[in-house]
Structure 1
Amino acid sequence: MKVSKSRRLFLTGAATFLALPFLPSAVWTRRAAASNCASPRRFMAWMVPNGMVMNNWTPTTTGKDWKMTPILAPLEPLRKKIMVLTGLDNQKTAVPGRPPGDHGAGTGMLLNMIPVNGHTKDRNRTSIDQVLLPALNSAECGTPSLPSLNIGLQGDNGLCDRTSCDFSRAISWIQGRPQPNIYDPRALFDRMFTGIGDDDGMSRDESARRRAEHKSVLDAVLNDINSLNVKLSAGDRLKLDEYATSLRELEERIDNTGTGVECKVPARPAASPPLNQERGITPSTIVERHTAIFVELMALAFTCDITRSITFMLGNGTSNNDFEFLIGRSTPHHGTSHHQNDKRKLEALTNIDTWEIEQVAKLLGKLDAATDADGSTVLDNTTFYMSSDVADGDSHNHWDMPVLVAGGAGGKLRIDGRHVNYTPDLKFPRGLVGERSDVHTGRVLISILQAHGIMVDTFGEAKGGPLPELMQG
């Protein structure tokens, strides 16, 4: 994958393009021209809504030898490529005065560190995923087909928390403009693999007719795949066959979430059954099914160099995703997060939080299993950042934040399995709400920016420069 788009292997047919994984024996690169190009770097921000059960999240010791907690346990196979940061604080940025609701405030500033209160029209609000684009999509390595992707599970339903709904429904911003999420798996598939999207300037009917003309992505490029196969080594033929099979299976799963059952790209059905707009409840079946598909598509988007920047919202601010599939009874997330120390609710929340981290682990595992051109993994060349709108869902505090980073920015960040605690006076067993610290959460974002060559010491209202614990050298 260390070649530019013009030198990258694509299969095309019927107005469809398909970017392929790295196949050394294909020899389509102009190696001399590409010799100065390292494997591309990527960035992903993943928002989990409603905070975490922090006493079941926080490791009790620091360094590398900490014991996995119940919520973080799914990440054990990836321990050496993650980092848990405890005690980060963005309370004054999220709630500088009389704020909107805490969920809308925490979501609105998540990736830009600019308050919502008093800044609803602030043109300086540009999120880190967009600030990073010049470094990620460099001319040296060529540009991917999509500059960035913004994806959300919940869509435009949900509560807006006493401010513009934009601040609860988007975490990606460009100069004060929210970047809308794609929340239909089929729309995301179309955007990635067929070049069809909702913003093509076509009416819905025109777009539907155009989709109806398209055969399966794999059908459209079948002749090219057969032609390529004869040029590949046995190992690469196997890799290409496995890739094609997985894409076919994924396409069928997406078709089966709607009205069609054939392996085609038909007119896109509704994303989900009608949602309860007043309470913003996302049906349990949507949460379970769509999350799995999004994880696979996001992994493909990075592995196939379709994009190098992704934001993903597992729920909006004030998310009421229903976890009946997990808990065994209807369990809207936001209502449950107002736990009031109820043991039954805290147990359900811990199960929800653990499931959320399982999805993170699946995504990171897929990236770590994919190899870049220089022999490192896609995860090695990815910077992954996860946090939430609040810390504890009942208290709505914006300190003691749950923060997880993974990957390594192509070796520019020191993410090596450590737990770093910025509140050394935190006592164990700890409470649901931890101690305050003077370390701003935004310093993680400053560290990521500097690791990508953007040498700033402030970002939004975050000051203090990068975190030394994250930086190499």
Structure 2
Amino acid sequence: MANLQSQRWLLPRRSFLRGAGATLALPFLDAMRPLMAAGTGTAAPVRLGLLYMPNGVRSDRWTPDGKGGSFELSPILKPLEAHKQDLLVLTGLQNKASFTGDGHYVKTGGWLTGTTISKTTGSDISANGISMDQIAARQIGRDTKLPSLELGTEPVATGIDRNVNYTRLYASHIAWKAANSPLPCEINPRIAFDRLFRTRSARGEKQAADEKSVLDLVREDARRLQSQLGSSDKAKLEQYLESVREVERRIEQEANTLGAGENLPPELLGKISELDKKISKAMGKASREEELNSRPRFDHGEHCRIMMDLMALAFWSDSTRVSTFMFGNDVTGRNFSFLDGVNGGHHEISHHKNDKGQLDQYERINRWHVDQYAYLLGRMKELKEGDGTLLDHCMIGFGSPIRDGNSHNPRNVPIVISGGSKAGLKTGRHLVYDDGTPLCRLWLGLLERAGADAKSLGDASSPLANLG
């Protein structure tokens, strides 16, 4: 306990700051510790985050040198050097169910399910299983505001990929609530922010609160709470509120350039339409296609980082304990010409045909994604929680369901797990498994440490060994 005041006053874990139009869940504070310990036997809950990178990696530049604790990060993974002791790099894993079918879709659709998706060119899509994040959401997400939070950067893909005769709908989903029920990613930061921190009245009703900062709405409640907290908790609360303010400020800065998400509440569609018109006006005589592919449309890096900041805030406030993030859709043609030495779209470059110039660009795109992952880990390590950091209480995965974008190789998939020391993960190691070890054994291991019971998943019936 921080002081005598916090010893005399205890705060329930599920506490909120409230105001007209806003509900702000609180991070874990010392004043909650006795009640948490008595009720659960642990200081803070374990969370699970999974970050999906499309189009695979440059294979010869991914795998670290050395095994166990004596390893050197590969060129692609080098941006993670500052977090090396927080990493588990895993080599030798595969999803056998994705071997059938050409192209990307089978790999992406079954990444978290360990199953083979149904081949179709229509809307009757099916993963033939539930994704591991949703298994976790059913069990550890029941008592949070959102059972799970799905984030992304690109709208749901449509049409048919005639090269492989699959509907492109599969390109946009890694989270499956049921076999035929994928969960779409929210790609608009404002909408995601509001889901986490705002309350709404009946649809179509205008709320003056929508124009105000969430922190302004809960200001009085925050002052009341701060008067009852010890010095340590006051500092934690200030850090939390400032983090919320920072994300809100950055969302406002990007509001003139970011596109809209899918399945948005009707009351927001009008605003989004107005925003879209403003963007088109700002772009001058650019065509719609040029708007979508040119840099002025929005800054992809800032978009990704805002989404990852939202994931961190969602975990820190315990608004959710399960979240996924897609850097881009499967087969994304995202133009990465904003990177030095890169000229073209991600998917096209991933089909490098072993051309040295293309391989170099492919590697630069891979490193960029790893750098964004490193950003999230750094943010989570800055946030104190209990007797450690937020990252200590979170298991954050990063990877792709294919090894090489040119061959669509689904064996020895690239995968890294970070954090989770409070969940029993022993990090700072490169773990090399026998070729063909089921990726689903890793998923079972993470579920077990998150407190979710799963006897089997895909081709796995036991957790991966040597994680702890």
Whether the TM-score (by the shorter chain) exceeds 0.5 is: yes
Please give the per-residue CA displacement for 1:237-277, whole angstroms capped at 9, x wherever unaligned: 344333333322321221122249xxxx9975368768999
Q: Does residue 1:463 correspond to 2:464, yes or no?
A: no
Matched with 1:427 is: none
- Residues 218 and 48 (structure 1), Cα distance of their counterparts in 2 relative to 1, 3 Å cut: same
Q: Confirm or deny: 8 A CA contact 2:115 2:127 kept in the other structure.
A: no
Shift, 1:170, TM fit = 0.7
Distance in 1 (CA, whole Å) between partners of 2:157 and 2:208 is 26
Matched with 1:420 is: 431
Please give the per-residue CA displacement for 1:356-397, whole angstroms capped at 9, x wherever unaligned: 111111112222232333x13222222222221321111111
How does 1:263-342 map onto structure 2 within 5 Å? 268-269=271-272, 283-284=294-295, 285-327=298-340, 330-342=343-355
Q: Confirm or deny: 8 A CA contact 1:443 1:464 kept in the other structure.
A: yes
Give TM-score, length-normalised by structure 1.
0.82
Please give the per-residue CA displacement for 1:267-299, whole angstroms capped at 9, x wherever unaligned: 753687689998996554342221111111111
Shift, 1:336, TM fit = 0.9
Distance in 2 (CA, whole Å) between partners of 1:82 and 1:71 is 14
- Residues 469 and 325 (structure 1), Cα distance of their counterparts in 2 relative to 1, 3 Å cut: same
The structure that is helix-richer by fraction is: 2
Matched with 2:5 is: none
Matched with 2:384 is: 371
Matched with 2:171 is: 168
Matched with 2:16 is: 10
How does 1:151-166 map onto structure 2 within 5 Å? 151-157=151-157, 161=161, 162-166=165-169
Distance in 1 (CA, whole Å) between partners of 2:170 and 2:317 is 31
Q: Does residue 1:357 correspond to 2:370, yes or no?
A: yes
Shift, 1:74, TM fit = 1.7
Q: Does residue 1:23 correspond to 2:36, yes or no?
A: no
Q: Confirm or deny: 8 A CA contact 2:36 2:43 kept in the other structure.
A: no
Secondary structure, aligned partner of 2:396: strand
- Residues 469 and 234 (structure 1), Cα distance of their counterparts in 2 relative to 1, 3 Å cut: closer
Aligned partner of 2:394 among 382, 389, 400: 382
- Residues 386 and 35 (structure 1), Cα distance of their counterparts in 2 relative to 1, 3 Å cut: closer
Distance in 1 (CA, whole Å) between partners of 2:440 and 2:291 is 29
Matched with 1:83 is: 88
Q: Does residue 1:408 correspond to 2:417, yes or no?
A: no
State the identity %: 33
Matched with 2:134 is: 130
Secondary structure, aligned partner of 1:400: coil
- Residues 466 and 231 (structure 1), Cα distance of their counterparts in 2 relative to 1, 3 Å cut: closer
Deviates more, 1:75-84 or 1:390-399: 75-84
Distance in 2 (CA, whole Å) between partners of 1:233 and 1:455 is 37
Q: Does residue 1:396 correspond to 2:421, yes or no?
A: no
Distance in 2 (CA, whole Å) between partners of 1:240 and 1:86 is 40
Please give the per-residue CA displacement for 1:295-321, whole angstroms capped at 9, x wherever unaligned: 111111111111100011111110122
Deviates more, 1:439-448 or 1:390-399: 439-448
Paired residues, number: 433
Distance in 2 (CA, whole Å) between partners of 1:280 and 1:107 is 27
Distance in 2 (CA, whole Å) between partners of 1:220 and 1:172 is 33
Distance in 1 (CA, whole Å) between partners of 2:294 and 2:421 is 36
Matched with 2:146 is: 146
Please give the per-residue CA displacement for 1:183-231, whole angstroms capped at 9, x wherever unaligned: 00111111111035xxx983xxx26x34764521011011222233333
Distance in 2 (CA, whole Å) between partners of 1:388 and 1:259 is 31
Unaligned runs of 5+ in 2: 1-9, 258-266, 281-285
State the superposition RMSD in angstroms. 3.3
Please give the per-residue CA displacement for 1:86-140, whole angstroms capped at 9, x wherever unaligned: 12222x41132xx2x52111110010011124596557421001101244236xx
Q: Does residue 1:67 correspond to 2:72, yes or no?
A: yes
Residue type of the partner of 1:393? Answer: G
Residue type of the partner of 1:169? Answer: S
Please give the per-residue CA displacement for 1:415-448, whole angstroms capped at 9, x wherever unaligned: 322112235xxxxxxxxxxxxx231222211222
Q: Does residue 1:43 correspond to 2:48, yes or no?
A: yes
Secondary structure, aligned partner of 1:469: coil
Matched with 1:105 is: 106
Distance in 1 (CA, whole Å) between partners of 2:462 and 2:197 is 39
Secondary structure, aligned partner of 2:151: strand
Give TM-score, length-normalised by structure 2.
0.82
Secondary structure, aligned partner of 1:49: coil
- Residues 78 and 310 (structure 1), Cα distance of their counterparts in 2 relative to 1, 3 Å cut: same
- Residues 325 and 240 (structure 1), Cα distance of their counterparts in 2 relative to 1, 3 Å cut: same
Distance in 2 (CA, whole Å) between partners of 1:221 and 1:354 is 40
Residue type of the partner of 1:174? Answer: K
Shift, 1:411, TM fit = 3.0
Residue type of the partner of 1:147? Answer: P
Q: Confirm or deny: 8 A CA contact 1:324 1:331 kept in the other structure.
A: yes
